[in-house]
Structure 1
Amino acid sequence: MTSEETRSNVEKALEEIRPFLQSDGGDITLISIEDNTVKVRMEGNCIGCSVNQMTLKSGVEMTIKKYAPQIEEVINIS
């Protein structure tokens, strides 16, 4: 898979999960993809949310890996 295809698939994954984040007053932005690691910025209510790490791993990372299985990790750089 090319880097463009990977980025496109990661963006599709974020579009799938974004409505759930936005319904709680949050959002997510893709910052970069480096060496099978996706860096994102959690925004809005997601910044101070006590379960944002669980959301990142159980929701965001799982959804991204569904679209781009080569991704090993998702990191929040807020």
Structure 2
Amino acid sequence: RQDKAGNVLIKKPASKGYESGKTIIIQSHLDMVPQKNADVTHDFSRDPIQTYIDGEWVKARSTTLGADNGIGCAMMMAVLEDNLLN
């Protein structure tokens, strides 16, 4: 199901033997808020994000990175696909 705001609700049946267990909710998002420093000429519709490594972090030069929760969506898809999870 999808609501008027674009939120998507996907339900997965409980694993056999866990039908009376508590429901869990996994929530994530894919949108990006495109922000840039005032001194930067960056067009988010055509210019690639300039990334760099800072220690253990991937960062963007003078713009938002846009990678904050894609991994959450990937994790949800993996849970939906996995038929061995209990």
TM-score class, shorter: under 0.3
Q: Which has the greater radius of gyration? A: 2
TM-score (norm 1): 0.24
The structure carrying a bigger strand percent of its residues is: 1
The structure carrying a bigger helix percent of its residues is: 1
